[in-house]
Amino acid sequence: MRDRIRTLLAAGVLCGAFMAGSPLTAMASIGPGFTAGTYAASITSETVNINKSLDTEEVLLTAEAGNAYEVLEDMGGGWLKVRVNDTEGYLPMAENVQLEEVDAEELAQIQQEAIESSQSYRRQRLVDFALQFVGGRYMYGGTDPHVGVDCSGFTRYVLQYGAGVTLNRSSRGQASQGVPVSADQMQPGDLLFYGGSVNSIDHVAMYIGNGQVVHASTERTGIKTSPWNYRTPVRITNVLG
């Protein structure tokens, strides 16, 4: 479906006016007979804010051109309830939002893309959370990056408070959690373990993308970023699922 939306965008069909007979609906209620899961709302402008509720202007997500969302309910008054990642949001109907009736296959594709987007969004939020501590103090036995942490204290804190994932305290203990992945499979948020072997792990770092990790390195350098292969990792795990 995403390719179809992009084709319509390129043809100018979704820019406020569209050809007769098109299944698209603009700036109007879906009307009687609406069934959840039979419409997708596509974004045609650069960005549109999706709110957390109808009673607040607090933004849940800023949608971009080409994004498509499953419509859950026509709220009336120019608002649609849509599925956003693993929750719901409220999208204003306007010239920059168009509706398209979808079939089961297209709906499944939208739902799969939403899952992938949710996972990517969660991982990026975790990376952003971790990077705020760069420059912080390394302290052996430390568990709070606001005060000082060692390598496993850092990853444990970041995963707990940045993603709600509970890790063991030591780097060796953390290496026993999650699912092993290869270097070409790793994603932001995955953990890299270093040592002489898998039985003698002495350091852990978190992958942040672009070939970099963030870690509580040494007392001299503190919390920093490094190339992921500044040492050869003996194990890489996905603890986020």
Residue 90 CA, chain-centre distance (Å), reads 19
For residue 80, being part of any structural domain is answered with: yes
Whether residues 60 and 163 share a domain: the answer is: no
Per-residue pLDDT, averaged over 23-33, amounts to 44
Residue 3, phi then psi, degrees to nearest 5: -65, -35
Among 177, 163, 171, 220, smallest CA distance to 200 is for: 171
227 has pLDDT over 80: yes
Tell me, yes or no, whether 116 lies in a domain: no
- Both tokens of 5, joined, read 């939306």
Averaged pLDDT of the chain: 84
Question: 32: pLDDT confidence band, cut at 50, 70 and 90?
Answer: low
Q: Does the pLDDT of residue 74 top 90, yes or no?
A: no
Domain-located, residue 114: no
Residue 25: its pLDDT value, please?
38
How far from 198 is each of 21, 64, 179, CA to CA, in Å?
63, 43, 14
Instruction: Work out the average pLDDT over 69-85.
Output: 88
Overall domain count for the chain: 2
Least confident of 7-11, 41-45, 56-60, 103-107: 7-11
DSSP one-letter code for 52: S
Q: Say which CATH number the domain at 76 has.
A: 2.30.30.40
Q: What tokens were used for 69? A: 């969302």
The reported pLDDT for the residue numbered 39 is 87
List the domain range (segments joined by +) for residue 182.
125-238
CA distances for 176 relative to 48, 63, 97, angstroms: 43, 38, 47
User: Of the candidates 67, 87, 102, which is a domain's last residue?
Assistant: 102
- Give yes or no: residues 148 and 96 share one domain: no
Q: Please list, in sequence order, all residues whose beta carbon lies within 8 angstroms of the beta carbon of residue 184, skipping any fewer than 6 positions away.
A: none
Regarding whether 78 and 146 lie in a shared domain, the answer is no
Residue 118 lies in a domain: no
pLDDT at 222 (0 to 100): 98
| Residue 57 maps to a domain | yes
Does position 30 have pLDDT exceeding 50, yes or no? yes
Residue 86 lies in a domain: yes
Distance CA 49, CA 171 (A): 41
Residues 167 and 228 in one domain: yes
What pLDDT score was predicted for residue 4?
47
Residues 54 and 157 in one domain: no
